[in-house]
Structure 1
Amino acid sequence: MATENFQTGAPEKETPLAKGPLQSMFAAAIAAAQPNQCIAAHLPAVPKGRLIVIGAGKASAEMARAVEQHWSGPLEGLVVTRYGYAVPCKRIEIVEAAHPVPDDAGLTAAQRILQKVQGLTADDTVLCLISGGGSSLLPLPLEGITLEDKQRVNRELLKSGASISEMNCVRRHLSAIKGGRLAAASYPAKVVTLLISDVPGDQPCDIASGPTVGDSSTCADALAIIKRYGIVLPDNVRKVLTDGRGESIKPDDKRLEGMEVHMIATPQMALEAAAKVAEAAGLSAYILGDSVEGEAREVGKVMAAMALQVARHGQPFQAPCILLSGGETTVTIRGDGRGGRNVEFLLSLGVALQGEPGIHALAGDTDGVDGIEEIAGAYLSPSTLERAWALGINPKDSLDRNDGHGFFQVLGDSLVTGPTLTNVNDFRAILIGR
């Protein structure tokens, strides 16, 4: 894991409870999801034939390195990860591509991965390493759709407010490799998939849009999502969804028989690790949920109300304590600011708290990137709003502009980790002191 670089803001009086434990909890959450800590126990038996390692996601390169460290027999393979997330491997080729909007490098990598599983036998094993971000990193469109079409649809989905499950449903039905198609192409080889979950509910078909698992959703479901968010599709893309070409591989498909799926790291595991750190520091920790969804700013308001109830009335918990949560919120983009769902949540939380004494918070993406910025998230203190006003910054205006990164960066309260080499979604911690 990359070393944290927590940037502090203007001097203020902080209790010892505040920054140290919050940073330590975030670090513990990331450490709990490191591939080298959780991959060895799930490796397949040595096959009679070849072991082909493939994969995609922000953690896939680190997963590949962990496989090499724990596998003594021959192997070969290719995985694709986000730019800046590659790590050195000796036998598995690492390719970098763009995220969250796909590019030509990702397209080429997806084509090559699909080629690597062609012509295998029942004696061979395909080990697929999948983590969050794989949807954008495997942008192989179905015939009749171009990469430009996929990029356009992806951009519209990202700014629509659609949930990650909804976005990935659409992506599965426009892809030549997702929605179980990669596993079907590997038949009759055995397919073993190791997953690091970054999605609420940990559904395998939603992690990187499920390239090696069956999908029970349909093209009709994808079209309903498109209609729900008013997304305008190019005619050729809509035709793929209406003429049957976009239908994914279903769970009962014979080509998926005998495959194995192992969830090796999840948001819940990360939150439990953070809770242990809090408790070791003498703080009661309460996990409110590992799959919180909804508009980030609305989640911020709800969490603020809960924190205030604890601080003012000792209900439902007694302070001092930590409120932990994970999941993936959404942001409907209305402004022209620099934002991400974690800083949007945190800014909304701060506006609702109005500088309530004793309440501090940290929110960050465990992959080190909130939105499209190389910033994981930020830190909020009781003095955050006061310091912003002193600099002539209106916090509510910043929220209206979706400018969370701009707001916290000016204050010096951005959380920068660099590539963490894993991804178990968002981390939120609210510390309520006495």
Structure 2
Amino acid sequence: MLAEWRQIAINLYDQVVAAGQPDQVVRKALAAGHQEAGQDIRQDIRPESFSAILAVGKAALGMAQAAYAEGVRVAPDRALIIAPAHADSDAGTNPEAASDQHPWPVILSSHPVPDHQSLAAGVKAAALCQSLTADDHLLVLLSGGASALMVNPNPPLTLADKVLLNERLLASGGDIHQINAIRRLVSQIKGGRLAAMAHPAQITQFIISDVEDDELASIGSGIMAGDPVPLSDSLALIKTLGLADYPFMEAFIAHLEGGKLQPPLSPDEAVFDHVKSHILASNRQVVHAGLITSNNMKTATALPPDIIELPRLSGEASHMASHLATLIKSSISSSGGSSGRPVIGITGGETVVSLPSDHGLGGRSQELALAFALAMQDADIPWLILAAGTDGRDGPTDAAGAILDSQMELDILAAQTALLRHDVWNLLNRCGGLFRPGSSGTNLADLVVIMAG
């Protein structure tokens, strides 16, 4: 039974990832059939209308390839593709394979921590936008990961400062909206500043969203969107997230408050009248697709599973895991246990992990899965959990997440210690619990599939 459940969970993950593949969603957007808010966006967007292209994010290569396949023809000196350096061998994620599919220049940079290539990408993106005129139409292909893949810090911050700041932000326990509010504040190109550089050109954004609620200012830290967070709140966040004591942040704040730097643009700036944004895929959409798939599923028990849409992932990974375990146990006792039906719970979103300076190796999905396994130790039922990032990577590791079940022999004390030290990768690697599907070429935040009964 658990072997069957494992395959069901993996199949659901594969189908969710497939629903957000960049080649499909971009080609659909540029072809006649794409509907958004009841309208065919092809009515005002023609592939031949674009005179420049900027693709940035984990799905950048696949999105650019699809745009070219659908007829977008832009000169190489009017194009820039920015993608992560950790790429697999397929054309959707590998620049050498993808170069056969489009003629545009590619910069490979670092994620989740920016590097010198990220800075080069940010400088070149700014130059591209500044070169545009009122006669231009810029196609922006944006996906998750853009905040680190393309940077250009505001002076007096250096790249080294930005790297340290980013590492501290990722370890702070702040959610993505808080983290990206700071990223917008310290950047020359985020918080709508690239849109201002491109003004008065027309800008169309096609977006694969990895952010809860699909807030434009948080996807890629809002390269073409205004900042809804008041400056006073962003400055307060610097203290809340433990960043105020860094000397470079003190210098930055002094520059900002002294009028030497401009804050991010407000969403009501006239610049954004020239920007049209379209969400082509999001975590909520693909989780919904997973629920539909689950409702059509049969198991070897000959009884269809009870499908549960679990609460959205948020907050600390270990706390979320305990909450999910409580809900699953309650569902089994109230329905599954009496009917004999297995239960399938599905959810998505993004948790956080607050890291000390001496943390080990792991990721939020790995921590969630292990904490769930510990919380289920008192449950006298079979269970399985798959928790993984839809991009194929969980934190700075080679795994997308973890897949664990009730038959795995788990050293409770070692698991508790691993969670306390935030060093879960090593334990999961030893027990065979890591889930390694490889890079997916897209990024739609995280997915959790739980089966029990």
TM-score by length of 1: 0.90
Alignment equivalent of 2:272, drawn from 233, 249, 256: 256
Alignment equivalent of 2:383, drawn from 332, 354, 359: 359
| Inter-partner Cα distance in structure 1 for 2:47 and 2:438 | 37
Letter in 2 for 1:239: A
Q: Does 1:236 align with 2:251?
A: yes
**Which residue does 1:136 correspond to in 2?**
148
- Name the SS of the counterpart of 2:387 in structure 1: strand
Q: Does 1:19 align with 2:6?
A: yes
Q: Does 1:378 align with 2:402?
A: yes
**Which residue does 2:125 correspond to in 1?**
113
| Inter-partner Cα distance in structure 2 for 1:131 and 1:410 | 33
Shift of 1:94: 1.6
**Which residue does 2:106 correspond to in 1?**
94
Q: Does 1:203 align with 2:210?
A: no
Shift of 1:315: 7.9
**Which residue does 2:171 correspond to in 1?**
159
**Which residue does 1:54 correspond to in 2?**
54
| Inter-partner Cα distance in structure 2 for 1:395 and 1:362 | 17
Structure 1, residues 253-275: CA drift from partner, whole Å, max 9, x if none?
12221310000010012112222
**Which residue does 2:283 correspond to in 1?**
267
Letter in 1 for 2:24: Q
- Quick check: 1:157–1:167 contact (8 Å CA) kept in 2? yes
Change (3 A) 1:140 1:383: same
Q: Does 1:247 align with 2:249?
A: no
Structure 1, residues 322-357: CA drift from partner, whole Å, max 9, x if none?
111111100011463211100111111111110632
**Which residue does 2:330 correspond to in 1?**
309
- Quick check: 1:53–1:75 contact (8 Å CA) kept in 2? no
Change (3 A) 1:270 1:240: farther
User: Structure 1 vs Structure 2: percent identity of aligned residues?
Assistant: 30
- Quick check: 1:240–1:246 contact (8 Å CA) kept in 2? no
Shift of 1:285: 2.6
Q: Does 1:331 align with 2:343?
A: no
- Name the SS of the counterpart of 1:127 in structure 2: strand
| Inter-partner Cα distance in structure 1 for 2:266 and 2:149 | 23
Gaps of 5+ in 1: 1-13
Shift of 1:72: 5.1
**Which residue does 1:277 correspond to in 2?**
293
Shift of 1:279: 2.4
Structure 1, residues 66-118: CA drift from partner, whole Å, max 9, x if none?
11111254454112111123431322222110111111101011111111122
Letter in 1 for 2:331: V
Shift of 1:288: 2.4
**Which residue does 1:411 correspond to in 2?**
431
Change (3 A) 1:300 1:165: same
- Name the SS of the counterpart of 2:351 in structure 1: coil
- Name the SS of the counterpart of 1:394 in structure 2: helix
Letter in 2 for 1:236: A
| Inter-partner Cα distance in structure 2 for 1:224 and 1:60 | 33
**Which residue does 1:78 correspond to in 2?**
80
**Which residue does 1:36 correspond to in 2?**
23
Structure 1, residues 271-294: CA drift from partner, whole Å, max 9, x if none?
1222233223223433224x4210
Comparing 360-369 with 278-287, greater Cα deviation is found at 278-287
Shift of 1:250: 1.2
Alignment equivalent of 2:364, drawn from 335, 341, 348: 341
Comparing 219-228 with 57-66, greater Cα deviation is found at 219-228
Q: Does 1:149 align with 2:161?
A: yes
| Inter-partner Cα distance in structure 2 for 1:254 and 1:317 | 60
- Name the SS of the counterpart of 1:145 in structure 2: coil
- Quick check: 1:179–1:214 contact (8 Å CA) kept in 2? yes
| Inter-partner Cα distance in structure 1 for 2:214 and 2:443 | 13
Letter in 2 for 1:242: E
- Quick check: 1:49–1:123 contact (8 Å CA) kept in 2? no
Structure 1, residues 141-177: CA drift from partner, whole Å, max 9, x if none?
1132211111111111111111111000000010011
- Name the SS of the counterpart of 1:92 in structure 2: coil
Let me know the Cα RMSD of the aligned residues: 2.1
Q: Does 1:214 align with 2:226?
A: yes
- Quick check: 1:52–1:75 contact (8 Å CA) kept in 2? yes
Comparing 116-125 with 188-197, greater Cα deviation is found at 116-125
- Quick check: 2:200–2:274 contact (8 Å CA) kept in 1? no
Comparing 352-361 with 254-263, greater Cα deviation is found at 352-361
- Quick check: 1:80–1:109 contact (8 Å CA) kept in 2? yes
Shift of 1:393: 6.1
| Inter-partner Cα distance in structure 2 for 1:354 and 1:212 | 47
Letter in 1 for 2:313: V
Q: How does 1:418-429 map to 2 (within 5 A)?
A: 418-429=438-449
- Quick check: 1:191–1:259 contact (8 Å CA) kept in 2? yes
Alignment equivalent of 1:400, drawn from 393, 411, 420: 420
Change (3 A) 1:72 1:98: closer
Shift of 1:417: 1.6
Shift of 1:251: 1.4
Gaps of 5+ in 2: 31-43, 88-93, 299-304
